[in-house]
Amino acid sequence: MSKQTVVMAGDLIRKHREQVGSRWRKASPGKQALLVLVVLRHDQRLEDLAAGNGISASTLRRWVLELIALLAARAPRLNRVLTQVRAIGATLLLVDGTLIRTRRRTGKANRRHYSGKHKRHGLNVQAITDTGGNLLWLSCALPGKTADITAARRHKLLDHLHTADLALGGDKGYHGLHKDLRELAKKPATANRDHTVITPIKAEVNRPLTDAEKASNSIFNGLRCAVERAFAALKTWRILDKLRLNPRHATTLLRALLVLVQHQQKTHHPTP
């Protein structure tokens, strides 16, 4: 974790204390920021970390929720992200989904949050990146049983992309939302390609892929590796290994981590 990240978080807490008129806390803004970032980075148990710093676990929990709310308020909205990306001349973005593990739910929420694909309970999160692997946007958390294509429809990704005149690349989980590579090649270059989502070509019954189609899929999958790098950067924050916060805070947490990841990307790999 870079020093710049700790300083940025500390500045947010300092400004918030001034706004609410907080006169006294058990820790300085810098120390509070450091303790919260330790929780997020290493999934440190609140009781252990609080006891070593002379505070209660409930106090540390309030600090965690306070900082993630401040960070989440700075998260970019999808329309603004797409406008900025289009302004620099990009034409293609990448999308993928991941499962954030949670504890097993009880009652009616049990089946809704169970992912048949991953065989575990969790929350479905969609991410949009550029072709360089920079994380641009994260969706709100949906129940784990939600398929990627269903999540994309609920978030109305195609409508937003159509407005920004951008194309989207996804894996075979988005097949059916799109015009695939085979259908896209049949269309004239001057044709209207609204709502285009490019996915790998699927083999069909009694029609295996040709060598050229296999090569096309390999090239496209190589391009899509950027999404996996973005998820790897996000999941360096180990609190996502298995979410122990109440799921109602999941979306706020994800947006806070998005801000932290983007801050680190700008700090270590500034865009020219």
Mapping DSSP onto H, E and C, the string for 76-133 reads CCHHHHHHHHHHCCCCEEEEEEEEEEECCCCCCHHHHCEECCCCEEEEEEEEEECCCC
What is the pLDDT averaged over residues 154-159?
A: 89
CA neighbours closer than 13 Å in the CB half-sphere of residue 142: 20
What pLDDT score was predicted for residue 272? 42
Asked whether the beta carbons of 68 and 78 are under 8 A apart, the reply is no
SS3 of 44, please? coil
The proportion of the chain whose per-residue pLDDT surpasses 90, expressed as a percent, equals 56
What pLDDT score was predicted for residue 269? 59
User: For residue range 115-152, what is the model confidence (pLDDT) as tens digits?
Assistant: 998 899 999 999 999 998 899 999 999 999 999 999 99
What pLDDT score was predicted for residue 37? 96
* Cα–Cα distances in angstroms (integers) from residue 189 to residues 131, 186, 193, 219, 234, in the given order: 22, 9, 9, 21, 37
Residue 241 DSSP code: S
**Mean pLDDT over the full length of the chain:** 87
Instruction: Select from 97, 42, 3, 7 the least CA-distant residue to 236.
Output: 42
Which pLDDT band, with edges at 50, 70 and 90, does 159 fall under? confident
CA distance 162 to 167: 8
Which pLDDT band, with edges at 50, 70 and 90, does 180 fall under? very low
Asked whether the beta carbons of 64 and 84 are under 8 A apart, the reply is no
Question: What's the pTM?
Answer: 0.87
CA distance 240 to 236: 8
C-alpha angle 125-126-130 in degrees, rounded to nearest 5: 140
Asked if pLDDT for residue 184 goes beyond 80, the answer is no
SS3 of 23, please? coil
Mapping DSSP onto H, E and C, the string for 154-198 reads HCCHHHHHHHHCCEEECCHHHCCCCCCHHHHHHCCCCCCCCCCEE
Highest mean pLDDT among 1-5, 32-36, 155-159: 32-36
